[in-house]
C-alpha cells in the first residue's frame, strides 16, 4: 500500500475521521456520497407527508410545533447536501438524480398521511426509527457527515417527543381520537420496520460499509433494537402493535416479532408505493417552476457586481 492508503486504513482503524481532502478509495467516496445524498433527499421528501397537515392542525400550538418540525427537516436536508458537496458533488446534480429516480430516499415517505394522528405516529415511529439509525452515524468515519449527524440528532430529539406527546394527549382524549391513533399505528408499524432496510442476509453491501466505518450496525441489529425500545412505549400509550407474533423472548432478552413483507417493500422501492409519484412530482414542480426565480437572482447578482466594479 502507498502511504495515503496506509493513512486511510490507519484512520479508520483508530476510529478517527476522514476529512474532505484526505485520500479515500473510490468505492468509499461513492458509498459515502450515495448514503449522504439519499439521507438528504429523505429529509426533503419527508417534509411532504407531514407538511400535508400544517394548514389543518387542530390547535395553534400543534400548528406551530409541526411547522417548526417541517422547517427543521428542510434544514437537515441542507446540512446533508452541504456534507455531500464536500465530496465534490453538486447540489443541482443531486436534485436532478432525485427527480429522475436515479437516487432514492427513505421508503417510509411513500405512504400517505391520512389523519392528524399520522403526524404523531410519524414522530413516534418514523423519527424513532431514524434516531436508531442516526445516532450511530454520529460516529461515521466521514467527518462532515458525522458532524451533520450530531447537529441533526440534537434537533431530532424534540421531533420524537412532540409526536409521542401528541399521541399521549389523543389517547387520553375522545374515543374517536383513540381510534385515529390505533388506525395510524396499524398503517405505519410495518413500514417503520422496513426503514432499516432488507434483512442482513439480503444486504451484500453491509460488510464493506461496516469495514469502512460508514455503517456501525447491521440492518437486523437496528431493527431489533427499534422493536425492543418501541414496544414498551406502545404499551404506555395503550395502542396495540399490529403483529400477532410479537412476544417477549426471555431467553434472547429481546422481542420476537413477525415477518416483514419484503415483497411489499420491494414494490415500494421500485416506485410502486402509494405516494412515490406524487412525492417526486411535487419536488420536480417546485424545482422547475422556480427556475425563473433562481435565474433572476443570479442575473441581479451579476448586475450588482458589475455596477460595483464600474463604480470602483
For other proteins, the binding residue among 9, 54, 97, 264 (CB under 8 A) is 54
Confirm or reject binding of residue 223 to other proteins (CB under 8 A).
no
Residue 137 near residue 149 (C-beta atoms within 8 A): yes
Integer-rounded Cα Rg, in Å, for the chain is 21
From the list 105, 116, 188, 189, which residue makes contact with other proteins (rule: CB under 8 A)? 116
Residue 251: exposure state from Cβ atoms within 10 A (0-12, 13-18, ≥19): exposed
Coil, strand, or helix at residue 288? helix
Select the span of 133-141, 202-210, 242-250, 266-274 touching other proteins (CB under 8 A). Answer: 133-141
Q: Is 180 exposed, middle or buried (0-12, 13-18, 19+ CB in 10 A)?
A: buried
Q: Residue 63 or residue 104: which is nearer to other proteins going by CB?
A: 63
| Binds other proteins (CB under 8 A): choice among 10, 71, 100, 277 | 71
23: Cβ contacts below 8 Å, ≥ 6 apart: 4, 5, 7, 8
Q: Could you say which of 34, 67, 242, 269 contacts other proteins (CB under 8 A)?
A: 67
Q: Which C-beta is closer to other proteins: that of 72 or that of 264?
A: 72
- Under rule CB under 8 A, residue 15 binds other proteins: yes
Residues 265-284 that bind other proteins (CB under 8 A): 282-283
Binding mask 84-113 for other proteins (x = CB under 8 A): -xx---xxx---------------------
| Element of type H or E holding 181 | helix 175-194
Query: Least distance from C-beta 309 to other proteins, angstroms?
Result: 14
252 counts as binding other proteins under rule CB under 8 A: no
Determine the longest span between alpha carbons in the chain, in angstroms.
79
The residue ranges of DSSP E strands in the chain, in sequence order, are: 247-249, 254-256
Q: Is 292 in the site for other proteins (CB under 8 A)?
A: yes
- Asked if residues 170 and 239 have their Cβ atoms less than 8 Å apart, the reply is no
Examine residue 30 and tell whether it contacts other proteins (CB under 8 A).
no
What's the rounded Cα separation, in Å, for the pair 157 and 155?
6
Contacts of other proteins in 137-196 (CB under 8 A): 138-139, 143-144, 146-148, 150, 153-158, 160-162, 164-166, 168-170, 172-174, 176-177
Interacting residue with other proteins among 18, 36, 37, 62 (CB under 8 A): 62
Query: For residue 107, what is the DSSP state?
Result: G
Q: Does 23 bind other proteins (CB under 8 A)?
A: no
The set of cell numbers assigned to 24 is 479515500
Amino acid at each position: 500500500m502507498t502511504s495515503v492508503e496506509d493513512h486511510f486504513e490507519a484512520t479508520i482503524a483508530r476510529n478517527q475521521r476522514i476529512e474532505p481532502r484526505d485520500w479515500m478509495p473510490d468505492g468509499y467516496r461513492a458509498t459515502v456520497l450515495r448514503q449522504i445524498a439519499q439521507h438528504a433527499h429523505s429529509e426533503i421528501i419527508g417534509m411532504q407527508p407531514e407538511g400535508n397537515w400544517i394548514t389543518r392542525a387542530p390547535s395553534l400550538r400543534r400548528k406551530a410545533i409541526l411547522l417548526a418540525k417541517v422547517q427543521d427537516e428542510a434544514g437537515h436536508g441542507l446540512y446533508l447536501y452541504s456534507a455531500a458537496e464536500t465530496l465534490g458533488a453538486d447540489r443541482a446534480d443531486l436534485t436532478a438524480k432525485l427527480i429522475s429516480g436515479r437516487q432514492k430516499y427513505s421508503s417510509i415517505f411513500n405512504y400517505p398521511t391520512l389523519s392528524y394522528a399520522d403526524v404523531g405516529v410519524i414522530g413516534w415511529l418514523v423519527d424513532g426509527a431514524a434516531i436508531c439509525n442516526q445516532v450511530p452515524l454520529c460516529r461515521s468515519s466521514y467527518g462532515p457527515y458525522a458532524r451533520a449527524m450530531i447537529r441533526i440528532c440534537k434537533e431530532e430529539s424534540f421531533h420524537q417527543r412532540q409526536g409521542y406527546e401528541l399521541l399521549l394527549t389523543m389517547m387520553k382524549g375522545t374515543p374517536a381520537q383513540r381510534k385515529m391513533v390505533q388506525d395510524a399505528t396499524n398503517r405505519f408499524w410495518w413500514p417503520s420496520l422496513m426503514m432499516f432496510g432488507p434483512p442482513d442476509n439480503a444486504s451484500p453491501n453491509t460488510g464493506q460499509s461496516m469495514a469502512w466505518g460508514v455503517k456501525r450496525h447491521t440492518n437486523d441489529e437496528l431493527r431489533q433494537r427499534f422493536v425492543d425500545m418501541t414496544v414498551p412505549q406502545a404499551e404506555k400509550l395503550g395502542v396495540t402493535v399490529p403483529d400477532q407474533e410479537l412476544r417477549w423472548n426471555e431467553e434472547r432478552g429481546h422481542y420476537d416479532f413477525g415477518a416483514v413483507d419484503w415483497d411489499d417493500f420491494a414494490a415500494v422501492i421500485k416506485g410502486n408505493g402509494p405516494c412515490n409519484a406524487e412525492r417526486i412530482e411535487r419536488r420536480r414542480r417546485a424545482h422547475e417552476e422556480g427556475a425563473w426565480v433562481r435565474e433572476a437572482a443570479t442575473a441581479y447578482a451579476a448586475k450588482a457586481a458589475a455596477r460595483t466594479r464600474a463604480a470602483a
